[in-house]
Structure 1
Amino acid sequence: MNSEMLGLSYLQIALGKTDHLVAHINSNDKEPSWDGDVEVYRKAGHVHAKADLILKVPVQVKGHCKPNLKKKSIKYSIQYADLKNYLATGGTIFFVIYINDSGDKAAIYYADLLPYDLKKHLKAYDGDPYKYKSIELKAFPKKKNDIADVFLNFTHHMNMQRASINSTPVTLESLYTSDPAQFSNIELTMGYSTTSRNYQFPFDYFFDHETYLYVKQPHNVTLPIAHLKNVETVNYTVNAPISVKSVVFYDHYTVSRTKNLSTINFGADIHQALQVGTQAKPDFHFSLSGSLSERIRDARFIIAVLNAQQYEINGGVLNFSGASSNSSGFIDVSSIQKQLDFLVGMQDTLNLLHVKKDLDPSLINEAGQNCLNILKIALLDKKSVKLVPSDSIFRPCHVANLNLLLCTLPIEGTDNFYDVYDFNQAPITFTTEDSSGNENPSSYYVQLNRNLMVWCDNIDYDIMLDTLKGIPFSEEYSQSLNTLILEMLHAYDCSNSTREDILSAVIELTDWVRKNDTFSLPSVTTINHYQAIKRSRKLTVSEQADLYQLTESPQEDEQIYVGAYLLLDSPVAATVHFSKLSLEEQSTFLGFPISHFMPNNH
């Protein structure tokens, strides 16, 4: 029995079932590593137009007599020389047909030998043409559409991997190592080609089929970086509203999809699981977690859902009445309402303190809860509270992830009772005394230092600016403002450039001081304003012209030249003028925030 001829016959019969393939396979083919090819067409039919031809797929066929035809996969040894030829041509489908002793039954196995895998197989190749590599082959499908899919998918990946034939292999690790800063911006793709079957969800194909992961390189070159045997879970984000009776609560949600389960996730900890392809009741889970604002929003949503017994998502409606819930006490609307009222009370209290940072309730300890209770009584209920005596009217308060600054005024004739105020609305008058003993109006904001500004979460810089701008200038007030400006710049730098609220405020403050302060040197106010701007963006031509004017005008203080040249990105000129300063002046200059722009060797 000629197993090669018989094997070819069984393969020809299998391929002949399909409407997309035309096989040209011959046991007498004289090509060194192939037995022919299979034409793959886009459109199904018995007669195919030339324009519909996608690709000719090279094939190699081996036939063997074997009594066991029930294996799901087999191992077969292929010469390295053949693998090298397969790589050079862009890939080959390798077939092994097992035939029983009587020749009336056969089992077909195949391997998609594409450049990505061939390169891995050839790593151990030392040039010896007589050496072999053991390759795993899987069972060939029996249904005609599945058979067509093998070739359609192979042509898709064969085309995608042509650029990788002669390129250096690329991995996710190598991409990260070459440019860590751009790693999050890389574009990864997956794809497939199949017959006209419709998948309810495009990724459903990957749950049962192998595929490759590709990275897009410069000049639109696409290279394979991974061979995925199958995909277990797909996560994706949908930018679409979730609402109850047209009231939108969320503007997006994520979906975690497996072969049999689709889970919708939104809010801090809300998810609804739906069994794919079944009528099983959806499983709804809810718990209050996340930040304070997230808990308030989620609680309001759940109460609305319980009342409406449904919610709308991306134009559809999910009926809640049929859902099962695994959240303890979830059905008790009154319990959720009590929790919501408590959370809203906390939020209202923090709003009165002008806190913009979101509270993390999971970090609240007993001391923090006591502090919140005291603040609620003092600010919301407007009652005096008993506090530990303090020498300062301003005192810090720490609650979970928040650092607060309070104004506490003792009530005369009481046993340590105080009225508590938001720091930004302290009912006090602040003045400074000049050299003649005259008092000049000022603001307690000028006492803020860099550490306090970085630490504190309830300084309202809009209120601060309005307050500072409402005080008439004096020589003492001018000095205080310039000191505050330097501290604000230091604070922004100390925050690793994260406190945009401080930077925005100091840009506005220096602009106002530059235009209105007649007690400060214009060169100083110009340097301060532009060094604040330079931390935010590049200086305009007009702004640079102002600085060049400083460098071309006589200055009593050499430090002005240093600062101007630093802001003009002229480190050599800045260094020359810096060297003209005394050691004491150099040390003083390096303590100013302008030194942020000094060359690294200083």
Structure 2
Amino acid sequence: MNSEMLGISFLQIALGKTDHLVAHINTNDKEPSWDGDVEVYSKAGHVHAKSDLLLKVPVQVKGHCKPNLKKKSIKYSIQYADLRNYLYVGGTIFFVVYVNDSGDRAAIYYVKLLPYDLKKYLKTYDGTPYKEKSIELKEFPKKKNDITDVFLDFVHHMNLQRAAINSAPISFDSLRSESPSQLSNIQLTIGYSAINQNYEFPFDYFFTHDTYIYIKQPHDIELPVAHLKNVDTVEYTMNAPISVKSNVFFDHYTVSRTKTSATIKFGADIRQVLQAGTQAKPDFHFSLSGSLSERIRDARFILAVLDAQQYEINGGVLNFKSASFNNSGFVDRSVIKSQLDFMLSMQKTLNLLHVKKDLNPNLIDTSSQNNLNILKTALLDKKAVKLVPYDSIFRPCRIANLNLLLCTIPIEGTNDFYDIYDFNQAPISFKSKDSSNNDIPFSYFVLLDRDIINWCDNINYDSMIDSIKAIPLSVEYSQAVNTLILEMLHAYDSSDSSKEDILLAAIKITDWIRQTDMHSSPSAAKINYYQAIKRSRPLTSDEQTEVLSIVETERQDESIYVGAYLLLDNIVAAKVHFSKLSKESQEAFKKYPIYRFMQDSQ
């Protein structure tokens, strides 16, 4: 019995079932590395137009007599020389057909050999004749559409991987090591080609089929970076609303799909599990977690859902009556309402202190809880509170991850009782002395230094600007405000440029100083303004022209020239003028925030 001829015959019968494939496979096996090809057409039919031809897929068939035809997969050794030839033509589908002893039954196995895998197999090939590589083959499908899909998908990936034949291989590991900073900008694609099938979601295809991930290259070239043989979970984000009675609570959600279920995740910890193809009750999971604002939002959503007994997601409705719940306390509306009321009182207290940073409830310890209770009593209930005496009316307060600055004023005639005020609205008049020892008004905001500015989470910069501008400028007050500006820029720089509100306030104050302050050096005021601007964006040509006018003015202080040239990115000129400063002046200049531009150039 000629097992090779029988194997080809069984394969031709299988291919003949389809409406898209035309096989040309030789039984005399005279072609090197191949036994023929299979024409793949885009349209079904018994007669195919030339214009519908997608590709001729090279095939190789090996037939063997085997009594056991029940295996789901097999291992087969293929010569490296054949693998190399398969790579040169862009790929091959390799078949092994096991025929039983009587020759009336067969089991067909296959492997799609594409450039990405072939290059991996050939990595250790040293050119030794007849050297072989053991490769796994899986059972060939029996339904005609599934058979067609094997070839359609092969055509899809064969066309995409032509560029990979002669290119250097790329992997995720190589991308991480060569350009880790560019990983976030990488564009990856994934896809397949198949006859129209009723997949509920396109990614469902990958639960039962392998595929490749490609990376976009210049000139619309795509190169394979991974071969996904088994996809257990597909997770994706949908930018679509989740609402209750048209009241939108969330603008996106994540779906985690497996072959048997889909888990919808949104909020900090809200999940609904839907079982595919069953009548099982949706499984709903909820817990209060995340930041304070997230917990408030999630609790409001749950209460709304309990009232409506449903919620809307991306235009559809999920009925809440049939859901099973993950914990017994979840359905107790009064518990959720009580938790929400408590959280809202915390949020209202923090809002009165102008706290923008979100509280992390997970970090609340006994001390933080005590401080929250004291603030709630003082600010919401408007009652005096007993505090440990402090040597300043401004005192720090720590609550979990929040650093707060408070104004605490002792109540006369009491035993350490205080009224507490928001630092930004302290009911005090602050004064200092001028050169003649006369009282002059100051804004208490000028007392802030870089450490406090960076530490504090409740400075309201609109209040700061209003307070500073409300005081008439004097020589001493002008100097104090300019010192504050430098401290703010230092604070912004030491925050790794993350606290944009500090920089925005510094820009507004420096702009006000350069336009209204008659006591400051006009050149220094411009330098301060433009160094603040330069931290947010490059200077425009008009702004550079104004800075250039500073260096063209005669008899300027050398430090002014250094600052101006740094703003113009003329580091050579800046260093020349820096060298003209005395050692003491150089050390003083290094402490100015503008010196960062000198350091950045080194």
TM-score, reference length from structure 2: 0.99
CA distance in 2, matches of 1:276, 1:230: 19
Cα distance in structure 1, aligned partners of 2:296 and 2:135: 58
Question: What is aligned with 1:270?
Answer: 270
Question: For residues 209-260 of structure 1, what are the alpha-carbon distances to aligned partners after superposition, in whole Å with 9 as ceiling and x for unaligned?
Answer: 1111111111111011111112111111111111111111111111011110
After TM superposition, list the pairs within 5 Å mapping 1:406-555 onto structure 2. Answer: 406-555=406-555
Alpha-carbon offset, residue 548 of structure 1: 0.7
Give the structure 1 partner of residue 205 of structure 2.
205
Relative to 1, partners in 2 of residues 1:356 and 1:115: Cα closer, same or farther, differing over 3 Å? same
Give the AA of the match of 1:204: D
SS at match of 1:598: helix
Following superposition, the deviation at residue 33 of structure 1 comes to 1.0
Deviation at 1:601, TM superposition (A): 7.9
Instruction: Give the superposition deviation at 1:599.
Output: 4.1
CA–CA distance in structure 1, aligned partners of residues 118 and 556 of structure 2: 74
Give distance in 2, aligned partners of 1:600 and 1:266: 42
Coordinate RMSD, CA, aligned: 1.0
C-alpha contact (below 8 Å) 1:485/1:506 kept by paired residues:
yes
Q: Counterparts of 1:39-438 in structure 2 under 5 Å?
A: 39-438=39-438
Tell me how far apart the structure 2 counterparts of residues 350 and 341 of structure 1 sit (CA, whole Å): 14
Query: What is the rounded CA distance, in whole Å, between the counterparts of 1:437 and 1:555 in structure 2?
Result: 33
In structure 2, C-alpha distance between the alignment counterparts of 1:192 and 1:409, rounded to whole Å: 71
After the TM superposition, which segments of 4 or more aligned residues of structure 1 sit over 3 Å from their partners? 599-602
Taking the aligned partners of 1:536 and 1:600, their CA distance within structure 2 comes to 15
Fraction of identical pairs, as percent? 72
Partner of 2:481: helix, strand, or coil?
helix
Deviations 1:78-118 (A, max 9, x none): 11111111000000011111111111111111111111111
Provide the residue aligned with 2:566 in structure 1.
566
- In 1: Cα distance, 2:202 partner to 2:300 partner: 34
Pairwise CA distance, 1:600:
5.4
- 2:240 touches 2:251 (CA, 8 Å); kept in 1? yes
Quote the Cα distance in structure 1 between the aligned partners of 2:430 and 2:202.
Answer: 68
Question: Any idea what the Cα deviations from partners look like across 1:321-351, whole Å, max 9, x if unmatched?
Answer: 0000012311111111110000000000000
1:119-160 deviation per Cα after TM superposition (whole angstroms, max 9, x unaligned): 111111111222111111111111111111111111111111
- Kindly provide the amino acid, as one letter, of the partner of residue 353 in structure 1: L
* Secondary structure class of the residue paired with 1:446: helix
Q: Is the 8 A contact 1:19 1:44 kept in 2?
A: yes
User: Is the Cα contact below 8 Å between 1:176 and 1:183 reproduced in 2?
Assistant: yes
- Partner of 1:584 in structure 2? 584
AA partner of residue 234 (structure 1): V
| In structure 2, C-alpha distance between the alignment counterparts of 1:167 and 1:409, rounded to whole Å | 74
Q: Which one-letter code corresponds to 2:204 in the other structure?
A: D
Counterpart of 1:436, as a letter, is S
Q: Given that residues 571 and 601 in structure 2 are in contact (C-alpha distance below 8 angstroms), is that contact kept between their aligned partners in structure 1?
A: no
SS of aligned partner of 2:137 = strand
Shift of 1:465: 0.2
Alignment check: 8 A CA contact 1:68 1:100 kept:
yes
User: Displacement of 1:30 after TM fit?
Assistant: 3.0
- What is the deviation of 1:171? 0.4
CA distance in 1, matches of 2:233, 2:89: 34
Q: Distance in 2 between matches of 1:338 and 1:134?
A: 65
Measured after TM superposition, the shift of residue 446 of structure 1 is 0.3
Q: Write the deviation string for residues 191-222 of structure 1: whole angstroms up to 9, x where unpaired.
A: 11111212111011100111111111111110
Structure 1 residues without counterparts, runs of 5 or longer: none
Cα distance in structure 1, aligned partners of 2:130 and 2:248: 69
Task: Name the CA distance, whole Å, in 2 between partners of 1:285 and 1:95.
Answer: 48
CA distance in 2, matches of 1:246, 1:231: 36
The code of the aligned residue for 1:494 comes to S
The whole-number CA distance in structure 2 between the counterparts of 1:582 and 1:328 is: 75
- Cα separation, 1, equivalents of 2:45 and 2:126: 46
Counterpart CA distance in 2 for 1:600 and 1:19 is: 67
Q: Secondary structure at the match of 1:226?
A: strand
Tell me how far apart the structure 1 counterparts of residues 584 and 379 of structure 2 sit (CA, whole Å).
49
SS at match of 1:318: strand
* Contact kept? 1:345, 1:376, Cα under 8 Å: yes
Cα distance between partner residues in 1 of 2:516 and 2:256: 58
Matched-pair contact (CA < 8 Å) for 2:69–2:106: yes
Q: In 2 relative to 1, CA 194–600 (structure 1 residues): closer, same or farther, beyond 3 Å?
A: closer
Q: 1:55 to 1:601 in 2, by over 3 A?
A: closer
Is the 2:268–2:290 contact (alpha carbons within 8 Å) kept by the matching residues of 1? yes
Once structures 1 and 2 are overlaid, which stretch shifts more, 209-218 or 340-349? 209-218
**C-alpha contact 2:241 2:314 (8 A) present in aligned 1:** yes
Tell me the amino acid that sits aligned with residue 472 of structure 1. Answer: P
Whole-angstrom distance in 2 between the partners of 1:127 and 1:120: 15
Which has the larger displacement, 325-334 or 255-264? 325-334
For the 8 Å contact 1:571–1:599, the answer to whether it is kept is: no
Please give the alpha-carbon distance, in whole angstroms, between the structure 1 residues aligned to 2:103 and 2:556.
Answer: 106
Separation (CA, whole Å) in 2 of partners of 1:464 and 1:132? 77
User: Alignment length, in residue pairs?
Assistant: 602
Deviations 1:46-85 (A, max 9, x none): 1111111110000011111111111111111111111111
**Displacement of 1:28 after TM fit?**
2.1
Q: Residue by residue, what CA displacement relative to the aligned partner does 1:390-413 show, whole Å, maximum 9, x if unpaired?
A: 111000000001000000000011
Partner Cα separation in structure 2 for residue 192 and residue 600 of structure 1: 48
Aligned CA distance change for structure 1 residues 151 and 601 (closer, same or farther; 3 Å): closer
* Partners of 1:311 and 1:320 within 8 A in 2: yes
Counterpart code for 2:547: L
Cα distance in 2 for partners of 1:232, 1:217 equals 28
Choose 589-598 or 189-198, whichever is displaced more: 189-198
User: How far is the alpha carbon of 1:29 from its aligned partner?
Assistant: 4.7
Distance, in Å, in 2 between the alignment partners of 1:512 and 1:550 is: 19
Distance 2:601 2:143 in 1: 72
Question: 1:439-473: CA deviations, max 9, x gaps?
Answer: 11111100000000000000000010011111111
CA distance in 1, matches of 2:85, 2:161: 16
Question: Is the contact between residue 253 and residue 264 of structure 2 (CA under 8 Å) also seen in structure 1?
Answer: yes
Scaled by the length of structure 1, the TM-score of the pair is 0.99
SS in structure 2 of the partner of residue 436 of structure 1: coil
Instruction: State the alpha-carbon separation in 1 of the partners of residues 221 and 178 from structure 2.
Output: 17
CA–CA distance in structure 1, aligned partners of residues 20 and 525 of structure 2? 77
1:561-595 Cα offsets, whole Å, 9 max, x none, are: 00000000000000000000010000000011110
Unaligned runs of 5+ in 2: none
Contact 2:511 2:529 in 1 (8 A): yes
Q: What letter is aligned with 1:351?
A: N
Q: Which amino acid aligns with 1:131?
A: K
